[in-house]
C-alpha cells in the first residue's frame, strides 16, 4: 500500500500547485533523497488527545490513512502507535537521534512546569521517568520544525486557565530561542485537521509559512466575524436563534481567528455558529476566558 | 521474582503506567496502575458561571467529550430543577451515540487490534511485539484492510455527530437548557445517510471481525476477569421521565441490583492525597500530597458500598440483558460490539422522532444557588459530575470518571482496582514482550485524561516525590 517517494513528491507538487505554493526545488530534492518518508514525532503533554482525534478526522487535503501510509512517517504518537513501554520510548529517542535536524516535532497539550514538571510524565526511559517538560526541552532543539497542535500547546489553553496551579506553559514559551526555526502555532480546541496536515506538508515541501503576531500561519488565521455568514444580520438575537448575529450575546467571532466559516468542521458538515451557539474563541491566546462568552 | 514496568501504555488517551510483579513461573502476583498526568480541572471550574463547565469539561477527554458535556449539563440542570424537552434528549442521544460509535470502532481497530495482528511494516505500526500472533495471512490482511476502512467509518461517525453538535471532538452546543441545533429536513436526511453507511459496517465488518478475534483467541474468555462486579449509571434517555436505553444498575457477584449515587465513596489511602478518605463526591474535598507513603497514583479509588466495580460496555450490556456471557478480555470486546450495534439501531428510531424546525433549547436563567448531579456513561463507562452553585458561580465541582473506577489504585481496605485485579494471575509467556498485559489493559479501553483526578497542588514538597520504585 505504500507508494514510492517519487509518487509522494508528484502528489505533493500537484497539491502545491493547486494551492499556488511556490516550491523550493532544493528542498524538494532533499525530501526526495531522505531515506524515510518525512519523519514526524508527536508528543502529548497536558492535553486531552482531542487534537490527535481531530487529525484522524482529516479529509482535506487527504484522509488520514493516506497521510500515515503515504505522506509522512509517524515515528511516535502514543495514541496510535503499536509499540508500548520501553519499546515506545526507545523508538522516540532513536528516531529523534537518527533524524536530528530533519524531523518535525508536533507538540499536543500544554507543558506543566510546576512540581519540576512531574505533573506530566510521558514515559520511562531506561527506568527514569521523562517529564513532558524534559521531552520538549530535549527534542525541540533537535527538530527541524516544531509545531504546536492546538490551543494548549500554542498558548496554554484550558490547563493553563484560572490559577494555572500546574504551571502550564506553551511550547513557544519553553522553546523560544533554542529551536532551529520558530515554533509554529496551530491553535484551535481542537486544531482544525486541514490546518494541521496541510501545514505539515507545507513545512516538508516549502518550509516556514508566513506567521501572524501569534506565530500562526497567516493563510489560516483570519477573523471569523469577517467571513461569518451571519455578519450584518439582525443583532440582539438570543443564543439558539437559527438566524441573526450573536455579537450582542458575547460571540467571540469578532476577536477570533480561524478557518471555521470557510472550511467548517468534520468534512464541512457544520460549525459552532451554524448550530446556533456563539463562538467561544477556542483558538485565541486568551481561551478559555471567564465567562466563555 | 521479577517486575515489568510498561510506561507508557500506548493506544489509549492519556498517560498510564502499569507495573507488575511476577513469580518464578511468570505469573503476575501484584499489579499497580498509575495515572501520570495531573491537570486541575475541578478547581479551575470554581468561580466560573455554571454553563461554562459543559465546555471546559469536554476538554478533559478528546475521545469522550460529548459525555462530559451531557454530564455537566445534566448536573447544572438538576441544580435548577430543569428537564430538557424530548427533542433535546433525542438530539443529545444522537450526538452522544455518534461519538460512542466512533469511539468503540476506534477502540477495536486502532487501539486494541494491534495486540493481536501484525500491522504494516512501517511507523507507527512497527516496531511492536511479535508474540502470539495466531491469524493466518488471509485473515491478517483482511483485518488490516478493515483497520483502514474503520479509520474512515469512525471519521464519518464524527461527521454524523457534528451535523447536530457543530463539531467533533468538542461539540459547540450541548449546554444546560438543551441543544441549540434546530435540525432541518436536509440535516435529518444527511444524518440518516451517514447512519446507514456506518450501520452496514457495524453489522457486517465489525461483527465478523470481533467474532473472528473471539474464536481465534478464545483463551481470552478466561483471562483478565478481575472482580466481575459491574456498574452503570445508565445512558441514552428515551423519554423525559428517566427511561434509558441502557439502564443504571450494578452486578455484584453475579447478582443484578439497583444503583444509588449515595453509595459511591472515593478512597485516597494509596493516592497522592491527604484529604478525608471514604467520602461521597457531593461533599468530597481534595488535598494533594506528592510522595505520600504508600501512594502511587493521581487516581482516587471510587468504590460502591466499599467494593471495587468495573465500568464500561460490558457493565451496560449485562445490566440491560443484551450480553451477559461472562467477564473477561474477550467478553469486553464482544459487549462493546453488541452495544455499538444496539446504539446504531436505536439511533434510527430516535432520528425518526426528531421534528424538523423544532427548538430543543431553553435559555436558562442563571440560578443563584443549588446543587446537582449529572450521571451518564462515556463509551468507557460510568461518568458523574457533582456541582454546587453559590452566588451564581460554581462553588464546588467533582468528577468521577469511568477510568477512575477501572484503573483505580488499592483502596483503604486493601482492595486493588479492577484493572490491577484483572492483571493478577496472568501468565506472561515472554517477559520481554508482555502482550498479555497490554491485551488486558486495552480491553478496559482506559482513558487516563479522564481518570486523572484534579486537585489543588498547594503544599507539594517535591523533595518527597518518589516515582514508583519498582
Place of cell 488520514: A64
Q: Is the CB of B162 less than 8 angstroms away from the CB of A265?
A: yes
- The CB density around residue B287, as the number of other CB atoms within 10 Å, is 15
Q: Within chain A, how many helices (H) and strands (E) appear? A: 10, 11
Nearest CB among B10, B122, B129 relative to A78 is that of B10
* pLDDT value of position B264: 98
Nearest CB among B52, B159, B167 relative to A291 is that of B52
Q: Is the CB of A166 less than 8 angstroms away from the CB of B40?
A: yes
Nearest CB among A74, A85, A87 relative to B123 is that of A74
- The CB density around residue B80, as the number of other CB atoms within 10 Å, is 18
- The model's pTM: 0.94
Three-class SS of B319-381: HHCCCCCCCCHHHHHHHHHHHHHHHHHHHHHHHHHCCCCCCEECCCCCCCCEEEEEEEEECCE
**Chain B: closest CA distance from residue A168 (Å):** 9
Place of cell 490482511: B141
| Fold designation for A222-275 | Cytochrome-c3 Hydrogenase; Chain A, domain 2 (4.10.480)
Cβ contacts of A171 within 8 Å, gap of 6 or more = A107, A111, A136, A140, A146, A148, A153, A154, A183
Q: How many whole angstroms separate alpha carbon B370 and alpha carbon A143? A: 51
Question: Strand pairing partners for A265?
Answer: A270
CB B441 within 8 A of CB B423: yes
Per-residue burial over B383-394, b if 16 or more Cβ lie within 10 Å, else e, is bbbbbbbeeebb
CB A129 within 8 A of CB A259: no
Residue A17 has pLDDT above 60, yes or no: no
Phi, psi of B237 (to 5 degrees): -65, 130
Nearest CB among B169, B172, B456 relative to A275 is that of B172
User: In angstroms, what CA-CA distances link B265 with A43, B97, B232, B404?
Assistant: 35, 29, 15, 12
Q: How many whole angstroms separate alpha carbon A264 and alpha carbon A255? A: 18
Query: CATH 3.40.50.700 region(s) of chain A?
Result: 5-206
Q: How many whole angstroms separate alpha carbon B115 and alpha carbon A219? A: 41
* Predicted confidence (pLDDT) per residue in A148-162, tens digit: 999 999 999 999 999
Q: Is the CB of B55 less than 8 angstroms away from the CB of A292?
A: yes
Pick the residue from chain B with its C-alpha nearest to A277.
B173
Mean pLDDT, range A264-287, rounded to an integer: 98
- The CB density around residue B47, as the number of other CB atoms within 10 Å, is 13
The residue extents of the domains of chain B are: 2-464
The helix (run of H) or strand (run of E) holding residue B304 is strand B301-304
User: What value, to the nearest 5°, has the Cα angle with vertex A225 and ends A274 and A184?
Assistant: 100
Nearest CB among B48, B123, B169 relative to A73 is that of B123
Pick the residue from chain A with its C-alpha nearest to B467.
A129
Looking at chain B from residue 19 to 58, which residues have their Cβ under 8 Å from any Cβ of chain A?
36-40, 43-44, 47-49, 51-52, 55-56
Nearest CB among A81, A164, A190 relative to B124 is that of A81
Residue A219 has pLDDT above 70, yes or no: yes
Q: How many whole angstroms separate alpha carbon B142 and alpha carbon B131? A: 20
Q: Is the CB of B38 less than 8 angstroms away from the CB of A112?
A: yes
* pLDDT value of position B31: 95
Q: How many whole angstroms separate alpha carbon A112 and alpha carbon B188? A: 43
Q: Which of A50, A66, A67 is nearest to A265 (CA)?
A: A50
Half-sphere exposure of B410 (CA within 13 A, CB side): 12
User: What value, to the nearest 5°, has the Cα angle with vertex B74 and ends B70 and B77?
Assistant: 135
Nearest CB among B38, B62, B438 relative to A84 is that of B438
Q: Using a CB-CB distance cutoff of 8 angstroms, which residues of chain B are in contact with residue A269?
A: 159, 162-163, 190
Phi, psi of A87 (to 5 degrees): -60, -40
* pLDDT value of position B388: 96
CB A91 within 8 A of CB A83: yes
* pLDDT value of position A249: 96
Pick the residue from chain A with its C-alpha nearest to B358.
A242
**Chain B: closest CA distance from residue A186 (Å):** 16
Is B172 an interface residue toward A (CB < 8 Å)?
yes
Q: How many whole angstroms separate alpha carbon A35 and alpha carbon A5? A: 9
Q: Which CATH number fits domain A5-206: 3.40.710.10, 3.40.50.10170, 3.40.50.700, 3.40.50.300?
A: 3.40.50.700
Residues B319, B320, B326, B330, Cα dihedral to 10°:
-120
Place of cell 494555572: A164
* pLDDT value of position B461: 28
Residue A36 has pLDDT above 90, yes or no: no
| Fold designation for B2-464 | Cytochrome-c3 Hydrogenase; chain B (1.10.645)
Residue A14 has pLDDT above 60, yes or no: no
Q: Are strands B310-311 and B230-232 parallel, antiparallel or unpaired?
A: parallel
Q: Which of B116, B27, B42 is nearest to B387 (CA)?
A: B42
Q: Using a CB-CB distance cutoff of 8 angstroms, which residues of chain A are in contact with residue B51?
A: 291
Q: Is the CB of A162 less than 8 angstroms away from the CB of B43?
A: yes
Angle in degrees, 0-180, between the axes of helices B435-443 and B329-353, rounded to the nearest 10 = 30
* pLDDT value of position A2: 43
Q: Is the CB of B40 less than 8 angstroms away from the CB of A159?
A: yes
CB A147 within 8 A of CB A184: yes
Confidence bin at A16 (pLDDT 50/70/90): low
Q: How many whole angstroms separate alpha carbon B120 and alpha carbon B106? A: 17
Cβ contacts of B143 within 8 Å, gap of 6 or more = B113, B117, B135, B209, B212
* pLDDT value of position A8: 52
Confidence bin at A203 (pLDDT 50/70/90): very high
**Chain B: closest CA distance from residue A274 (Å):** 7
Q: Is the CB of A48 less than 8 angstroms away from the CB of B449?
A: yes
* pLDDT value of position A135: 98
Region for residue A250 given its phi and psi (left: phi exceeds 0; alpha: psi -120 to 50; beta: otherwise):
left
Is B461 an interface residue toward A (CB < 8 Å)?
no
User: In angstroms, what CA-CA distances link A248 with A256, B73, B363?
Assistant: 15, 24, 15
Q: Which cell numbers hold the place of A18?
A: 493547486
DSSP-based three-state secondary structure for A178: coil
Centroid of chain to Cα B90: 21
Pick the residue from chain B with its C-alpha nearest to A77.
B124
Q: Which cell numbers hold the place of A211?
A: 506567521
pLDDT averaged over 10-residue windows placed end to end, chain B, 470 residues: 91 89 96 85 92 97 96 97 97 98 98 95 92 95 97 98 98 98 98 98 98 98 98 96 96 96 96 91 80 87 98 98 98 98 98 98 91 97 97 94 94 97 97 96 84 34 27
Sign of CA dihedral B455, A158, A161, B387: negative
**Chain B: closest CA distance from residue A169 (Å):** 12
* pLDDT value of position A13: 53
Mean pLDDT, range A235-244, rounded to an integer: 96
Pick the residue from chain A with its C-alpha nearest to B455.
A165
Is the previous residue joined to B34 through a cis bond, with omega within 30 degrees of 0? no
* Predicted confidence (pLDDT) per residue in A60-119, tens digit: 999 999 999 999 999 999 999 999 999 999 999 999 999 999 999 999 999 999 989 988
Pick the residue from chain A with its C-alpha nearest to B162.
A270
Q: Is the CB of B5 less than 8 angstroms away from the CB of A68?
A: no
What percent of chain A has a predicted confidence (pLDDT) above 70? 88
Amino acid at each position: 500500500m505504500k507508494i514510492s517517494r517519487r509518487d509522494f513528491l508528484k502528489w505533493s507538487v500537484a497539491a502545491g500547485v493547486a494551492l499556488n505554493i511556490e516550491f523550493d526545488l532544493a528542498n524538494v530534492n532533499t525530501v526526495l533523497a531522505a531515506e524515510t518518508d518525512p519523519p514526524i514525532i508527536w508528543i502529548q503533554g497536558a492535553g486531552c488527545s482531542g487534537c490527535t482525534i481531530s487529525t484522524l478526522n482529516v479529509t482535506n487535503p487527504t484522509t488520514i490513512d493516506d497521510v500515515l501510509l503515504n505522506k509522512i512517517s509517524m515515528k511516535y504518537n502514543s495514541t496510535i502507535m503499536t509499540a508500548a513501554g520501553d519499546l515506545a520510548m526507545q523508538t522516540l529517542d532513536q528516531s529523534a537521534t537518527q533524524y536530528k535536524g530533519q524531523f518535525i516535532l508536533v507538540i499536543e497539550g500544554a507543558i506543566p512546569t510546576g512540581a519540576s514538571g512531574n505533573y506530566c510524565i510521558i514515559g520511562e526511559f531506561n527506568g527514569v521517568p521523562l517529564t513532558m517538560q524534559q521531552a520538549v526541552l530535549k527534542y525541540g532543539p533537535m527538530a527541524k520544525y516544531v509545531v504546536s497542535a492546538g490551543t494548549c500547546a500554542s498558548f496554554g489553553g484550558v490547563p493553563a486557565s484560572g490559577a494555572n496551579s500546574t504551571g502550564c506553559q506553551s511550547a513557544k514559551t519553553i522553546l523560544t530561542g533554542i529551536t532551529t526555526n520558530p515554533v509554529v502555532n496551530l491553535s484551535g480546541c481542537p486544531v482544525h485537521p486541514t490546518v494541521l496536515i496541510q501545514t505539515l506538508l507545507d513545512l516538508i515541501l516549502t518550509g516556514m509559512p508566513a506567521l501572524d503576531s501569534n506565530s500562526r500561519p497567516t493563510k489560516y488565521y483570519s477573523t471569523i466575524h469577517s467571513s461569518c455568514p451571519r455578519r450584518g444580520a439582525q443583532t440582539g438575537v438570543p443564543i439558539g436563534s437559527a438566524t441573526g448575529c450573536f455579537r450582542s450575546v458575547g460571540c467571540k467571532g469578532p476577536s477570533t481567528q480561524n478557518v471555521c466559516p470557510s472550511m467548517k468542521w468534520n468534512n464541512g458538515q457544520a460549525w459552532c455558529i451554524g448550530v446556533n451557539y456563539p463562538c467561544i474563541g477556542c483558538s485565541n491566546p486568551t481561551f478559555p476566558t471567564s465567562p466563555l462568552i | 521474582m521479577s517486575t515489568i514496568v510498561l510506561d507508557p501504555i500506548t493506544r489509549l488517551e492519556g498517560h498510564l503506567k502499569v507495573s507488575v510483579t511476577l513469580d518464578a513461573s511468570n505469573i503476575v502476583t501484584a499489579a499497580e496502575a498509575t495515572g501520570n498526568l495531573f491537570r486541575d480541572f475541578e478547581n479551575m471550574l470554581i468561580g466560573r458561571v455554571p454553563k461554562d463547565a459543559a465546555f471546559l469539561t469536554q476538554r478533559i477527554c478528546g475521545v469522550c467529550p460529548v459525555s462530559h458535556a451531557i454530564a455537566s449539563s445534566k448536573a447544572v440542570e438538576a441544580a435548577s430543577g430543569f428537564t430538557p424537552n424530548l427533542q433535546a434528549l433525542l438530539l443529545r442521544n444522537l450526538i452522544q451515540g455518534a461519538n460512542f460509535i466512533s469511539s468503540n470502532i476506534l477502540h477495536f481497530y486502532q487501539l486494541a487490534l494491534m495486540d493481536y495482528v501484525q500491522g504494516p511494516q512501517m511507523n507507527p505500526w512497527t516496531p511492536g511485539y511479535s508474540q502470539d500472533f495466531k491469524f493466518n495471512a488471509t485473515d491478517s490482511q483482511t483485518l488490516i484492510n478493515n483497520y483502514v476502512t474503520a479509520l474512515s467509518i469512525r471519521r464519518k461517525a464524527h461527521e454524523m455527530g457534528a451535523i447536530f453538535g457543530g463539531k467533533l471532538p468538542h461539540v459547540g452546543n450541548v449546554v444546560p437548557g438543551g441543544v441549540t441545533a434546530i435540525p432541518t429536513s436536509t440535516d435529518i436526511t444527511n444524518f440518516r445517510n451517514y447512519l446507514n453507511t456506518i450501520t452496514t459496517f457495524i453489522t457486517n465488518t465489525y461483527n465478523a471481525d470481533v467474532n473472528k478475534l473471539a474464536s481465534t483467541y478464545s483463551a481470552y474468555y478466561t483471562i483478565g476477569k478481575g472482580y466481575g462486579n459491574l456498574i452503570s449509571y445508565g445512558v441514552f434517555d428515551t423519554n423525559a421521565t428517566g427511561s434509558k436505553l441502557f439502564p443504571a444498575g450494578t452486578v455484584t457477584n453475579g447478582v443484578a441490583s439497583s444503583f444509588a449515587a449515595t453509595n459511591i465513596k472515593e478512597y485516597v489511602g494509596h493516592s497522592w492525597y491527604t484529604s478525608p478518605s471514604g467520602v461521597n463526591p457531593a461533599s468530597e474535598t481534595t488535598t494533594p500530597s506528592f510522595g505520600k507513603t504508600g501512594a502511587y497514583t493521581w487516581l482516587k479509588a471510587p468504590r460502591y458500598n466499599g467494593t471495587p466495580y468495573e465500568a464500561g460496555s460490558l457493565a451496560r450490556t449485562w445490566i440491560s440483558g443484551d450480553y451477559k456471557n461472562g467477564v473477561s478480555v474477550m467478553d469486553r470486546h464482544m459487549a462493546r460490539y453488541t452495544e455499538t450495534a444496539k446504539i446504531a439501531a436505536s439511533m434510527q428510531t430516535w432520528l425518526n422522532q426528531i421534528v424538523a424546525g423544532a427548538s430543543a433549547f431553553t435559555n436558562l436563567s442563571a440560578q443563584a444557588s443549588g446543587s446537582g448531579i449529572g450521571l451518564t456513561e462515556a463509551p468507557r463507562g460510568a461518568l458523574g459530575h457533582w456541582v454546587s452553585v453559590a452566588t451564581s458561580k460554581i462553588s464546588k465541582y467533582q468528577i468521577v470518571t469511568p477510568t477512575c473506577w477501572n484503573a483505580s489504585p488499592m483502596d483503604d481496605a486493601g482492595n486493588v482496582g479492577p484493572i490491577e485485579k484483572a492483571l493478577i494471575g496472568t501468565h506472561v509467556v515472554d517477559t520481554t514482550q508482555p502482550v498479555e498485559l497490554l491485551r488486558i489493559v486495552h480491553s478496559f479501553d482506559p482513558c487516563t485524561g479522564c481518570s486523572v483526578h484534579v486537585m489543588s497542588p498547594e503544599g507539594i514538597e517535591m523533595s518527597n516525590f518518589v516515582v514508583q520504585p519498582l
